[in-house]
C-alpha cells in the first residue's frame, strides 16, 4: 500500500577509514588544530594559489575556513558537534551557499596500531542534479586530501 509520501533518491555517503600511528588525542588535534599544516590548499581550496592557510574554530558553531593572501576568508562549513578527541561533525559548503551544505563526520577510535580515523561525507541530495557528480569528485578528492594528513601523521 502506498502512503502517498514521495520517495527520495539517496546518494550513498563517501566513507574513508584508515589508521594513523598516533594516540587518539594527537590524531584529533592534527586533524583540527593543525589543519593548516596538512590541508593541500594549492589543489583543494576556494582561492587556489592565493590561499595561505585554513583553520577550524574549535567549538560548536565555529567555522572551517581558508584565508586568502590579501586577508579575505572563504568559509567551508560550520561545526555542528565538537567532541574531542572522539569526533567532530560539520556542515560542508566550500565556495557555495550554506543552503547546499553536506555534512562531514570525522570520528577517532583507539586501534591496536594507533587511531582509526573515519570520515563520512553525506547529504549529496542537497546539490540537486549535481549531487552524484560531486560525490564522485569528492570520493577521489578525499583520497588525496587525506593522504596529506596520513603523511604528516607518520612524521609527527
> What's the start-to-end Cα distance of the chain, in Å?
58
Q: 9 pLDDT exceeds 50? A: yes
d(CA 93, CA 63): 11
Condensed to tens digits (0 to 9), the pLDDT of residues 104-147 reads: 999 999 999 999 999 999 999 999 999 999 999 999 999 999 99
Q: In what order do the strands lie in the sheet with 102-111?
A: 14-20, 114-122, 102-111, 87-92, 73-83, 63-68, 51-56
Condensed to tens digits (0 to 9), the pLDDT of residues 60-82 reads: 999 999 999 999 999 999 999 99
Q: Are 87 and 108 in contact, with CB atoms under 8 Å apart?
A: yes
Query: Is this structure's pTM higher than 0.75?
Result: yes
d(CA 154, CA 18): 12
More confident residue, 20 or 8: 20
Q: Give the CA distances from residue 9 to residues 21, 128, 139, in Å, rounded to whole numbers and listed in that order.
A: 38, 11, 19
SS3 92: strand
> Binning pLDDT at 50, 70 and 90, where does residue 30 land?
very high
Domains with residue ranges and CATH for the chain: 14-155 (3.30.530.20)
Q: What percent of the chain clears pLDDT 70, i.e. is strictly above it?
A: 94
Amino acid at each position: 500500500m502506498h502512503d502517498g509520501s514521495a520517495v527520495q533518491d539517496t546518494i550513498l555517503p563517501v566513507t574513508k577509514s584508515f589508521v594513523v600511528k598516533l594516540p587518539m588525542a594527537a590524531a584529533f588535534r592534527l586533524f583540527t588544530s593543525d589543519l593548516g599544516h596538512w590541508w593541500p590548499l594549492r589543489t583543494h581550496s576556494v582561492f587556489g594559489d592565493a590561499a595561505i592557510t585554513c583553520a577550524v574554530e574549535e567549538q560548536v558553531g565555529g567555522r572551517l575556513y581558508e584565508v586568502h593572501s590579501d586577508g579575505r576568508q572563504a568559509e567551508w562549513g560550520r561545526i555542528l558537534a565538537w567532541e574531542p578527541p572522539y569526533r567532530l561533525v560539520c556542515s560542508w559548503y566550500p565556495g557555495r551557499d550554506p543552503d547546499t551544505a553536506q555534512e562531514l563526520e570525522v570520528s577517532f577510535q583507539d586501534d591496536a596500531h594507533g587511531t582509526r580515523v573515519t570520515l563520512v561525507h553525506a547529504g549529496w541530495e542537497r546539490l540537486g542534479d549535481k549531487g552524484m557528480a560531486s560525490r564522485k569528485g569528492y570520493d577521489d578528492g578525499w583520497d588525496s586530501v587525506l593522504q596529506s594528513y596520513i603523511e604528516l601523521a607518520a612524521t609527527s
